[in-house]
Copies of this chain bind each other. A is one copy, B any other.
Amino acid sequence: MRVLGVDPGLTRCGVGVVDSLPGRRARMAGVGVIRSDAGLTVDLRLLRIADGLEEWLDAHLPDVVAVERVFAQHNVASVTGTAQAAGLAMVAAARRGIPVALHTPSEVKAAVTGSGRADKAQVTKMVTRILRLDDPPKPADAADALALAVCHLWRPAGALHGGERHELTSAQRAWAAAEAAARRKG
């Protein structure tokens, strides 16, 4: 299984692709950051993030997209842009019929470090070790995206849409996406 992790952001949107291997091991297939120029208007910045996400989906064809769950309570000043980038990642996946999973920051930290209150340095250190990387991924957004993907691979069984109602199978999702595409063309 291949997971694209997305650490959403308007200035820097972290993306990381991780493949599961036998025996609870995992391998990095790609990592990066999609950036938008803070000098552009918000609509063009969001377009840049959306286009960047499409490029990552095209290049890596993930089975699942894991996105950090955005809480309005955190970082009030930047939550709007963060929520919008997360929304673009969800729509891009849904349009392709790819299942989306949302994981909270504390779930991600707990999955890779064992503690839901780990700091960024600990997350980066454990991601580097788990994926057997030569160097720590930088910036932190890139490491967080990889941690999200690892968290998703190591989640408890049945937690794909934890907290969401009406869980859909992959087939149902592909059908919903195809129907949506037909509506657009019709």
Contacts and interface: CB of A to CB of B under 8 A. Distances in A.
B72 A80 contact: yes
Interface residues of A, number: 46
Given A51-B183, A55-B184, A184-B55, A87 B166 contact: no
Contacts of A102: 42
Contacts of A71: 80
If over half of A's interface residues share one DSSP class (helix, strand or loop), that class is named, otherwise mixed; here it is helix
A1 to B, nearest CB: 18
A146 to B, nearest CB: 21
Interface string A150-186: 0000000000010011111000010011001001100
A79 B71 CA distance: 9
Interface of A: 39-44, 46-48, 50-51, 54-55, 70-73, 76-77, 79-80, 83-88, 90-91, 93-95, 100, 102, 161, 164-168, 173, 176-177, 180, 183-184
- Cβ-closest 6 pairs across A and B: A84-B87, A43-B90, A43-B100, A47-B94, A43-B94, A83-B83
